[in-house]
A and B are shown apart, each in its own frame.
Chain A
Amino acid sequence: MRAQTSTIRTLLIANRGEIAVRLIRGARDLGIRTVAVYSEADVTARHVRLSDAAQLIGPPEPAASYLSIDAILNAARESGADAIHPGYGFLSENADFARACRDAGITFVGPSPEAIELMGDKIESRRTMQKAGVPIIPGAIDPITDPREARDIAEQVGYPVVIKAAAGGGGRGIRTVEAPDEFERAIAQAQDEARTAFASDAVFVEKLIRPARHIEIQVVGDQLGNLVALGERECSIQRRRQKLVEESPAPGVSPELRLRMEEAALTAAAACDYTSTGTVEFLVWDDQFAFLEMNTRLQVEHPVTELVRGVDLVQDQLRIAGGLPIGYTREQRPIRGWAMECRITAEDPYRDFSPSVGPIAWFREPGGPGVRLDSMLARGVGVSPWYDSLIGKLITWGETRDQCIRRMQRALGEYLILGVSTSVPFHQALLSEQRFLDGDIDTSYLEEHQVLDPADRPKASTRAAIAAAVFFHTQGERAEAERGATTLRNPWAVSARGRRYPVEQGWRRTTG
């Protein structure tokens, strides 16, 4: 007999980019109809073309489209969706949104609003973890307003310490303090940043532990009270607290340490009656670990767990949201082999990862044994300045870490994207460093040295010089022939003030 697939019939996907594509695929595997939503900047987007139906929800500004609770609930009502998957980012960890879905009688694919709220408040979640017996980083339990309190705590736990926003995330609202006289300024700055970014200026202080690794545990909970831990992901390769490479298992983590972390993660999930896929992030040093935060959503790097554990976390979420049990135990999903993910972003790794936006003229995607690509690219799709720079995630699997890395190197070599700069050269350089190959990784890896030097940028090549010269030459000839302006011919155009103006392919003008 076939297992029951899901009780959801139509799923609205409240996201864009590669994750929207991933969610459509997961839903389709369960026979669920999908509705995409899109902003005016995403008219040609891949998720829009791939879904069963699509609804325009507003202008490119995220606040008026992908972050608008009203716009998304309206789209759900109009399309007859009985469930909404928020993906990651945008509204995924917004308790008000989860509550609004519940009030509208629509299933929110994720945990309860109460769990989101509790874990979204770093001070509350630390307090809860401490009560539940999950190790936390030494520091304040209450919010800090007075630099003197912060100094007292620093004296107890030892310098350096970090000031963090209670509502924090994405590396904002964080300040390192090395000495007592820095508190006044650091607290003010962290509060300021937190107020702007999160509309709450509550901050707390905890010990800065370095060197340390950032390792997280995947958990899955259902509405029947079952909880399963699915091992760890190593996420220490970060630049300004943004992850670039993740892998599972984590090099050097013993079965004993894994088990202790899994038990702590299950305790954390149980403390908030967790009922979806979630991730408990830990800081790990020597054979110790401490709770950092819990992400109450599907994580960007979920595919590495899927590849080594043989699970489909999106399907699990959809089944659980429909009231079904998880359907497996930890022992039934043992670790098999090794998986790694490289986040392919539209950024120039030779220029301090500055964003690179615009149309993409052509691309060639990698494939073959052990290669998975979750990507937003499609013909005519460009990189929009309005959203995150993630183009896609390249994930490889191997029997061993060595085979997994070789496959990643092959796949990176096959991956060509013409029209924007990408992080591919960074990943190629990183994967050729002995220290990385040895698995000697911690969160300071990218701070300590530059993987790609601006001076490594490819210099003049004969090919490039010839291409440029012939291009200018033909442009000049055309200009002479047409005695007109020297722009490229372009099949797309808009009319304004009675004239036609060319637009880059795949882009639309939003206002007159």
Chain B
Amino acid sequence: MAKNYRLNVGGELREVVIEDDGEGRFVAKIGDAEYSVVLESLDDNMLFRLRIDGRRTPVAIKREGYALDLFIGPDHYGVEIERSAAGSFDTLAPAIAGLLRLTAPMTGQVSEVLVDLGDQVQEGDPLLVIVAMKMNNEIRSPATGTITELAVAATDTVDQGDLLLVLQADDD
């Protein structure tokens, strides 16, 4: 079954249709061009081997909600996936719906938790503040939804990647 992904890659909009054979092989279509693709995890974490039409290259991917940090060769791209807020990309929903685990983007100390368990939050709402390198970093909600779990409290020290909270994103 084909799914349509609209992505902001390094500031440019790209639309990619992915066909999945269910066995780890994909066909990616961009415009009229078709590519045969395999993406294998090499460390069960952030390192992958990307194969496009037989050409292999190592890729590192760090995900944070709807955004990716993507490293290919010497290049580092910021990627964001367009959300189905407008209802026009329903096929995308499974990729982003459900429980979102928000992790700490940096090591630091939680100075304030601005939400409670069960709170309804809007996308962009401030959730908590992490002090790192003497700067207050406000962590905002990547989606609209409900807080279903709070893993940290004020004064907790967190490492980058530690779970902060879990958000049940609303179905659009």
In contact, A507 and B159 (Cβ under 8 angstroms): yes
- Shortest C-beta distance, A105 to chain B (Å), equals 37
In contact, B99 and A484 (Cβ under 8 angstroms): yes
Which residue of B has the minimal Cβ distance to A511? B157
In contact, A496 and B151 (Cβ under 8 angstroms): yes
Q: Which residues does chain A contribute within 8 Å of B160, judged by CB atoms? A: 357-358, 385, 504, 507
In contact, A361 and B71 (Cβ under 8 angstroms): yes
In the bound assembly, the distance between CA atoms of A462 and B10 in angstroms comes to 12
In contact, B71 and A504 (Cβ under 8 angstroms): no
Which residue of A has the minimal Cβ distance to B57? A463
Which residue of B has the minimal Cβ distance to A425? B74
Stretch of A126-134, A201-209, A311-319, A414-422 contacting B (4+ beta carbons < 8 Å): A414-422
In contact, A504 and B98 (Cβ under 8 angstroms): no
In contact, B7 and A465 (Cβ under 8 angstroms): yes
Q: Which residues does chain A contribute within 8 Å of B133, judged by CB atoms? A: 385
Residue A469 contacts which of B28, B94, B99, B151 (CB distance < 8 angstroms)? B28
Stretch of B62-70, B111-119, B121-129 contacting A (4+ beta carbons < 8 Å): B62-70
Total number of B residues with any Cβ neighbor in A under 8 Å? 69
Q: Write the A478-512 contact mask toward B (1 if CB under 8 angstroms, else 0).
A: 01100111111111001011010111110111110
Which residue of B has the minimal Cβ distance to A476? B95
In contact, A465 and B9 (Cβ under 8 angstroms): yes
In the bound assembly, the distance between CA atoms of A457 and B61 in angstroms comes to 18
Residue A471 contacts which of B3, B61, B74, B163 (CB distance < 8 angstroms)? B61
Q: Which residues does chain A contribute within 8 Å of B42, judged by CB atoms? A: 362
Q: Write the B143-165 contact mask toward A (1 if CB under 8 angstroms, else 0).
A: 00000000100001101111100
In contact, A468 and B9 (Cβ under 8 angstroms): yes
Q: Write the A44-73 contact mask toward B (1 if CB under 8 angstroms, else 0).
A: 000000000000000010000000000000
In contact, A464 and B9 (Cβ under 8 angstroms): yes
Whether B139 sits at the interface, judged by CB under 8 Å, is no
Residue B39 contacts which of A60, A360, A459, A471 (CB distance < 8 angstroms)? A471
Interface residues of B in 1-32 (CB under 8 A from A): 3, 5, 7, 9-12, 14, 16, 18, 20, 26, 28, 30
Which residues in B have some Cβ–Cβ distance to A below 8 Å?
A: 3, 5, 7, 9-12, 14, 16, 18, 20, 26, 28, 30, 33, 35, 37, 39, 42-48, 50, 52, 57-63, 68, 70-77, 79, 81, 92, 94-101, 103, 106-108, 132-133, 151, 156-157, 159-163, 166
Which residues in A have some Cβ–Cβ distance to B below 8 Å?
A: 60, 348, 357-362, 384-386, 416, 418-419, 421, 424-425, 457-477, 479-480, 483-491, 494, 496-497, 499, 501-505, 507-511
